[in-house]
Amino acid sequence: MQERAVREYADSDGRYGRVDTQYAEFDGITLETGFFLGPLTVAYETYGTLSPTRDNAVLILHALSGDAHVAGTDETGRLGWWDAMVGPGKGIDTNKYFVVCSNCLGGCKGTTGPRSIDPSTGMPYGPSFPRISIGDMVNVQAMLVKHLGIERLHNVIGGSMGGMQALEWAVSHPDAIRSAIVIAATARLSPQGIAFNWVGRNAIYSDPARVCGPADENSATRRPGRGLAVARMIGHITYLSEETMEVKFGRKLKLKDMNGYRYSLGENGTEGGEFEVESYLEHQGSSFMQRFDEDSYVIITKAIDLFDMEGTYGGLRNAFGKISAKVLVLSFNSDWLYPTAMSLDIVRALQAEKKDVSFVELDLPYGHDSFLVNAGMPYLTRIVRGYLNGVR
């Protein structure tokens, strides 16, 4: 009975209902590079009700390609990207918590980014959008939280890039949060991770369709070229595990002739793909082209590459010295992009500084994306719900 109850509250079912994106406007922000970026728009959504004492707010931080729509349905009926976790009775219970999620700085889903208008030119920023950092993203979120009248968050939670932001919150805004949940993240990206991001950006840079000159009036609506699709395919491979790919695809063929194989060429002489895994990656890349912006991809992946708490603060212990929040670190044993060893580096540094830290490694086969896969949600739900309820 208990297992069935957990599963009941661990599905993407849109139970929260229709949610509309809201927009906050600010004069601007001085980035860590010293560049003043303004005016500034932040797209965000809220769920649940803020308590009279304003002490029940949970800030959710999305990964690279996420947005503010974390739960419920939008105007098109699209489910939120973490609908299985957020909603009435779910891991982050909207009957109990006031949930906020915003699109990150540099994104392409409503918050100021490359598609926004540069006031100095009257044209979209495009490739000229200034370099940003994970710290800049967090500082913009802090502006939003203050705008909403919240002095201290009950919790900040995020996976992957969102986990990096949760760490940054704990370090740079120690008095503004009670707790942080860091999922499948790292305090600094490995050379391998940087390499994958670099190859993805090079796919974009090498695309003949890429507009590298001054932005024009069509930049805000133009479709990205094939390079973004290739970048997404490269990235998506790193999000999966070998076990997942073997079980889901194996060596199944999409195209067959009497001899078992058929080689095909797609448009412009590119390989059409005869294995199911190739068809899957093609779908991921093509659909990503329809919903994301290549300049945002470049800007955000570069911010991920540059995130380095150890280098910035002269060691993780120095970085974590001022943390006052409770911290839960979660990893997945099948995640080879941000493996458990990276999470343990964070945990050990927090322990050395005598901080209140908990650690869980989940045995799930879905790779880095385990925190987004519905099949793993019952296990993640138990942990997140229990931890949030225990924070005082």
Question: Among all residues, which ones are annotated catalytic?
Answer: 160, 335, 368
d(CA 300, CA 101): 17
Backbone angles phi, psi at 153, to 5 degrees: -85, 140
In the block, tokens 């739900």 appear at 381
Question: Vertex 363, ends 332 and 101: CA angle to 5°?
Answer: 45
Tokens (6 digits) for 295: 């300049």
Secondary structure E strands in 90-167: 92-93, 98-102, 117-118, 123-124, 155-159
348: exposed, middle or buried (Cβ count in 10 Å: 0-12, 13-18, 19+):
middle
Sequence-separated (6 or more) residues with CB below 8 Å from residue 273: 254, 264, 266, 279, 282
Query: By C-alpha distance, which of 60, 61, 152, 55 is closest to 99?
Result: 60
Query: By C-alpha distance, which of 26, 35, 218 is closest to 120?
Result: 35
d(CA 108, CA 126): 11
Q: At what angle do helices 226-239 and 191-205 cross, to 10 degrees?
A: 160
Tokens (6 digits) for 46: 């809220």
Query: By C-alpha distance, which of 164, 231, 165 is closest to 197?
Result: 231
d(CA 267, CA 271): 8
Give the amino acid at 315.
G
